[in-house]
Structure 1
């Protein structure tokens, strides 16, 4: 065991020792898979005998069961009653969990459609639905302080429209920190909503794009966690800031055991769902003026801290890139990464 692994295990062990019953509560549920882990294969137009594209939740369920996953998180918008029942039957037969990914209503006229999606997702067995509140990454789609104010206002309106439906049907909605909210901003909105039915999908790595320390993010959001996007991250400097890349679990810089222990501490029944996105690294242009348009008076220490993290965790080799690969090669690497992560979750993280 090297020094880094020792420190990770020690940090996690402190929390688990204080709560000895927590690992047992989730020990039997293997890590699930978020549909975005199959970004290359989901609705793929590539003809591949080895990696045929998934076109429905049923195909994703079947495949994830075959590779040993405990469940899936998948888009549930627009399902029919019959399809929801079919998903329920298959899910129950396979003994897997289901979490939905859903759009929230933008205006009152959207509420009936939202309610139908909630009803069908619940019929299929989903008790937790994940959502996002912005159209994209904050630093790419919002270009002024007022734009962020408007996004917050619209998000609050959407969640206020959704809340009575969630309460009526006893389904929980989990808002992801989707490179849009910094953790204290998301907590402030949840406190304003003050609903037991609205919490967080806690993504372990996204908020690095907003210069947040990943462990601090988990500490801040774990009290509200309903579901998770588990991932590991690697970083690399570039001229305008840094590159950010999902990498197989255990190959990045995140303290995964401690993060998982914190989530279990606050929600013993939380599931752990893998979001291993196989793609080129994302550019985080934190040294360009436009990046800062929505961040107000963020202390310079936030930027300094993230740049220090980037420099302290230089990768031994360049971050993985998929753009030079053929379509078949991308599919192969994607599957290899997911299988590696599932094996790591069982062998090193005691999930499943």
Structure 2
């Protein structure tokens, strides 16, 4: 009984510590704003909405160290933790080694260190067949094995910087295939950046991905997608389409249950909201719809975590 109560207390603590934010590349900024200014504008706007984490792309960081330090001071003052997308992790060494990619990776890790980020994220798949499980030139297992040397080296570089390296299931492999990659790489600081809906893109039930990757998850993309009838005759009769959180076929409540109990980073876990492949209403202003999507998503996640905390408290 005591062990059960301790577990429930840990669940409550972990739920309260989880950080809600957004994938900044999709959060629209005013026209004409420079990339450096976009990041600061987003951080201020999202902090006002109660967010405590923000994901930024490598290209949205200034090359001026003083500017980076100013940005760090701002995030510290607003209580916002940053997560950086680092390019080039799969070009560090091995069969896909690329000097330019490695240079970008090293620079990104250097910048992330400046901010004291606990985790950085990357991805292999680049939204095409070649960088996915459907590349017919070799088997899925051979494909995964070919990624190990670079991921292992990238993981060691990241570990030396005191960070975890999270690999997104980025429209490339199923969750269980990525589990094989992580187990083969065999580094404690290399795990998953769980995208809750990308499983649809490799014709996998995303709930299977979530179950498989929860014990490896260092960070997330919280995404929902709905299966809808395909309107174009001659295509596969159903397809996945982005939607507001809670309105699709991803069980986000169950996702949080799994993550809070199995993620090695459950305490302070980043819950980063990202839209799927959306079908915006052509009769409404696109920008208004995008802002509305994020506002609803942030509130949805706040309400979900609050409900989970109450549920856990009632079990004590």
Does the 8 Å CA contact 1:232/1:246 hold for their aligned counterparts?
Answer: yes
Aligned equivalent of 1:258: 254
Structure 2 Cα separation of the partners of residues 154 and 136 of structure 1: 18
Offset at residue 79 of structure 1 (A):
4.3
Aligned equivalent of 1:33: 22
Per-residue CA deviation, residues 257-301 of structure 1 (Å, 9 max, x unaligned), is 111111111232222111124733xxxxxxxxxxxxxxxxxxxxx
Determine helix, strand or coil for the equivalent of 2:187.
coil
Aligned equivalent of 2:44: 62
Does the 8 Å CA contact 2:133/2:172 hold for their aligned counterparts?
Answer: no
Aligned equivalent of 1:132: 123
5+ unaligned residues in a row in structure 2: which ranges?
A: 92-96, 310-316
Structure 2 Cα separation of the partners of residues 279 and 125 of structure 1: 34
CA RMSD of aligned residues (A): 2.9
Change (3 A) 1:262 1:137: farther
Once the two structures are superposed, the pairs formed by residues 121-270 of structure 1 within 5 Å of their partners are 121-138=112-129, 144-146=135-137, 152=144, 155-238=147-230, 239-267=235-263, 268-269=266-267, 270=269
Structure 1 Cα separation of the partners of residues 185 and 131 of structure 2: 27
Does the 8 Å CA contact 2:229/2:237 hold for their aligned counterparts?
Answer: yes
Give me the TM-score of the superposition, normalised by structure 2: 0.80
Structure 1 Cα separation of the partners of residues 219 and 153 of structure 2: 21
For these two proteins, the number of residue pairs brought into alignment is 287
Aligned equivalent of 1:21: 10
Aligned equivalent of 1:74: 56
Aligned equivalent of 1:12: none
Offset at residue 112 of structure 1 (A):
4.2
Per-residue CA deviation, residues 184-233 of structure 1 (Å, 9 max, x unaligned), is 11111111100012100001111022222222211100010000111222
Structure 1 Cα separation of the partners of residues 174 and 5 of structure 2: 27
Offset at residue 33 of structure 1 (A):
0.8
Structure 2 Cα separation of the partners of residues 16 and 63 of structure 1: 39
Determine helix, strand or coil for the equivalent of 2:240.
strand
Structure 1 Cα separation of the partners of residues 143 and 66 of structure 2: 36
Change (3 A) 1:339 1:162: same
Per-residue CA deviation, residues 306-348 of structure 1 (Å, 9 max, x unaligned), is xxxxxxxxxxxxxxx35x357xx11110001110111111123
Aligned equivalent of 1:330: 286
Determine helix, strand or coil for the equivalent of 1:276.
coil
5+ unaligned residues in a row in structure 1: which ranges?
A: 1-14, 281-320
Does the 8 Å CA contact 1:79/1:117 hold for their aligned counterparts?
Answer: no
Give me the TM-score of the superposition, normalised by structure 1: 0.72
Per-residue CA deviation, residues 104-153 of structure 1 (Å, 9 max, x unaligned), is 24126343442222121121232211111022144897864116757535
